[in-house]
Every structure is written in C-alpha cells, then in structure tokens.
Amino acid sequence: MKKNLLSIGLIVLALCISVTYLTGCAKKAAVKEQVTVTQEREPAVVAPPVVPPAVKPVDDAAARERALREQALRDQAAREAAAKEAKEAAERAKKEAAARAAALLKELTIPDIHFDFDKYNLKPEAQAILKAGAPAYLKHKEYKLVVEGHCDERGTAEYNLALGQRRADEAAKYLVDLGIQKDRINTISYGEEMPLDKGQNEEAWAKNRRAHFVTFPPVK
C-alpha cells in the first residue's frame, strides 16, 4: 500500500515537473509553476520531500527531473508488463480449468433415454446409453446424479406422475446395478408437466417420454 502511494507521488511529481520543464526555463515561469506543483502535490500525502526546483539552478534541476521521470516511466513499464503477464497466466489457467470442467461434465453427461407410450421398461438403446454413461460416475465418485422421469401429455396427470417416477426409478436401478452407489442417485417425476416439445404429434410425444439426467458437482 505504502509502496503504491509512493509510486503515485513519484508519478505526480514527474508529471508536474515535466509541465514545468515544457513550459519554459524562465525563472518567473518556474516560480509561477511552483505554485501549481505545490498545489498538485498536496493529494499525494506520502510523496517524498523534493527540493523545490525554484531554489536550484534551472539546468541542474531539469536534469534531475528528467532522470527521475525516465526512471519512473521505466518502472511503470516493468510493472505493467509483469501485471499483464500475470493476468494472461491467470486467464490461461482459468480457461484450462473451464475446459477441464467442461470435459469432465461432458464425460459425466448421460443423454436422455426414451420410452414407449405407457411403458417404463428400458429399451436396448436406453440400456446402451446407461452402460456408456456409468463409467464416468464410477471414476468421479464425488459427483451425484438426479434422474428426472417425464411423460408425454396424453393420459391422466396423476397416472403420469406415477409413470414418470417409475421411469426415473427404472433408470436409477439400472445405474445402481452398473455399480454406482445408490445414495448418489436421486429420482424425481415431473409427469407430463415439463414437455421438451409442445407439439401434439407422435414425434413430439416420443421426445417427451424420457428420463433426463442432471449431474451435481460435489458440494464444496
């Protein structure tokens, strides 16, 4: 903190001095500028005491000022470069972490499985999807899973809630049989209430008769 304030002071000083320098070498002008410098220095409370340029010979003072200014600029450039590099490194790390997380999530993603009308048995293609999806959960044991059971819009809301629960339960049981611990899998039925496709045709209904898998990362 202190160091920061010091640098700010130096920069302010350097700027003021450069103003002095550029404005001209006349003593009168320097004195005039002196007032400005003093005023401008006020906010920088921890700036080191600097000998007022007005009481020194002008060329001597100007040389020192130039040196100081150049030093300050070099320091600043170095700091900026370091900061930039650190920022880029952080961004790279962040990107890599996100990519790793995305890859992991992709590895853990189980696509929807589908059912026949009024059925909850797992069809061969559904079993294949679950067999392909299970190993990731066997490897990453800290991840949990919620299986949602859904139905198409046809039939009774209540019966469909039971049917959706059954679909979720059947999928969950299959995953347990594949070795995933039972307490890592929760089930919930949404019956006919959350269709993916609002259409009223077999294509839409087939999409909606599904078990959907939601991955839950470990709670930190």
Helix pair angle (124-139, 157-177), 10° resolution = 60
Whole-number Å distance between alpha carbons of 146 and 133: 14
The C-alpha torsion from 184 through 189 and 193 to 195, rounded to 10°, is 60
CB 191 within 8 A of CB 209: no
Of the pair 53, 195, the CB lying nearest other proteins is at 195
Whether 180 and 134 have beta carbons less than 8 Å apart is answered as yes
* Backbone torsions φ then ψ of 70, nearest 5 degrees: -65, -40
**Spatial CB neighbours of 195, under 8 Å, sequence gap ≥ 6:** 150, 152, 153, 204, 208
Among 115, 175, 189, 209, binds other proteins (CB under 8 A): 189
DSSP E strands, the chain? 113-114, 144-150, 185-191, 210-216
Q: Which of 158, 177, 179, 216 binds other proteins (CB under 8 A)?
A: 158
Size of the site for other proteins (CB under 8 A): 20
Beta strand pairing call for 185-191 and 144-150: parallel
Nearer CB in complex with other proteins: 139/154: 154
Task: State which of residues 162, 178, 204, 206 lies at the interface with other proteins (CB under 8 A).
Answer: 162
- By the rule CB under 8 A, 26 interacts with other proteins: no
Residue 44 or 172: the one with the smaller Cβ distance to other proteins is 172
Residues 176, 57: Cα–Cα separation, whole Å: 89
60 binds other proteins (CB under 8 A): no
Closest to other proteins by CB, 69 vs 167, is 167
Site string for other proteins, 118-157 (x = CB under 8 A): x-----------------------------------xxxx
Among 142, 177, 193, 197, binds other proteins (CB under 8 A): 193
Smallest distance from other proteins to CB 132, Å: 26
Per rule CB under 8 A, is residue 169 in the interface with other proteins?
Answer: yes
The contact set with other proteins (CB under 8 A) reads 118, 154-159, 161-163, 165-166, 169, 186-190, 193-194
